[in-house]
Amino acid sequence: MSTPAQESAVTRRLQSVKHIILVLSGKGGVGKSSVTAQLALSLYASSPTARVGVLDVDLTGPSIPRMFGVDDQGVHQSTSGWVPVYADGAGARLACMSVGFLLKKKGDSVVWRGPKKNGMIRQFLSDVRWGDLDYLVIDTPPGTSDEHLSLMEHLAGMHERLSAVIVTTPQAVALMDVMKCLSFTRAVNLPVLGLVENMSGYACPCCGVVHNVFSTGGGEEMAKKEEIGFLGSLPVDTELVSLLDGGPTSQTEFALLEAYKKTPSAKLFENIVTGVVEKLT
Ligand SMILES: Nc1ncnc2c1ncn2[C@@H]1O[C@H](COP(=O)(O)OP(=O)(O)OP(=O)(O)O)[C@@H](O)[C@H]1O
Ligand code: SF4
């Protein structure tokens, strides 16, 4: 449980954040972190003044620093709190925070019990100098765990600014897991902006045409049945994976964003972001 002073520290710190979007998935490995990264990049690119924060709450498997090509960097403490790592360098419009920045060595693992995780999440929300943000996108662990409950507890007073995006793959097992995610959002009264079906088909590396290898469309059907929005499908995209799993690290010209814009996924993600922004306004 947090004390009233701790809660008001979170409220003060996040008072100039317009929208807080939790990225959820019922199952691991469906591409939740890559959707988080793409959502942040696409929101950033949606306007020359958009300010975006990315908070990696996947404490035991942080992948945001690697995906943004900033895993060699660390956050530093200032008198007014932790200074996040800016993925766009001097642009300072894309702020990232992850436990990955605090580990001594890359690949070190975090083995913490619930209360310690809860304390870390509270610190991420209250101690990071997020500044004015249009969007704070939060990458959560798979399933519904201590981390999700901590987030909902600390963000309880900000309900009108909170929403979620759910990521799934077309396979039935993952879709069954979406139901667990949905029942969590309903139990905690968290509005769902919509569902993204990831790894839906395969984008040809030569021409970008998407081929359906396995069944697709299950996500859209489920979204309709559960009366939540369907934001779109993303194919297996080899260009995306080589970019996010070890792409450009130069931040001066934000090389990652420029390289991302050339992937088949970027074009498809534009529609997803349009859907997200429409629902938020
Ligand atoms: N559309 C895609 N095309 C190709 N590769 C993808 C796609 N989406 C995700 N991947 C790759 O699949 C792997 C798992 O993705 P990611 O880490 O985003 O999943 P996750 O759901 O966040 O996993 P975790 O359970 O670890 O939190 C990564 O190597 C990522 O680059
Ligand atoms: S989609 Fe076109 S470019 Fe790609 S493998 Fe098929 S024929 Fe070749």
Per-residue pLDDT of the chain (281 residues; tens, 9 = 90+): 678 777 788 999 999 999 999 999 999 999 999 999 999 999 999 999 999 999 999 888 899 999 999 988 888 888 889 999 999 998 999 999 999 998 877 666 666 777 888 899 999 999 999 999 999 999 999 998 889 999 999 999 898 999 999 999 988 777 888 999 999 999 999 999 999 999 998 988 888 788 887 767 788 888 999 999 999 999 999 999 988 887 555 555 588 899 999 999 999 999 999 999 999 98
Domain range list for the chain: 4-280
Exposed, middle or buried, 89 (CB in 10 Å: 0-12/13-18/19+)?
middle
Q: Ligand 1 atom 3: the closest Cα is on which residue? A: 236
Distance 274 CA to ligand 1 centre (A): 22
Task: Give the CATH architecture of domain 4-280.
Answer: 3-Layer(aba) Sandwich (3.40)
CA torsion sign for 220, 32, 10, 80 is negative
Mutation probe of ligand 2 site: the residue of 202, 209, 211, 239 with most atoms within 8 A of C-beta: 209
- Position of tokens 């997020």? 130
Q: Would you give the DSSP letter of residue 98?
A: E
Classify the phi-psi angles of 69: left when phi > 0, otherwise alpha if psi is within -120 to 50, otherwise beta.
left
Q: What is the 3-state secondary structure (H, E, C) of 123-173?
A: HHHHHECCCCEEEEEEECCCCCCHHHHHHHHHCHHHHHHEEEEEEECCCHH
With a CB cutoff of 8 Å and minimum separation 6, the contacts of 5 are none
pLDDT at 248: 56
CA of 224 to the centre of ligand 2 (A): 32
pTM of the model: 0.93
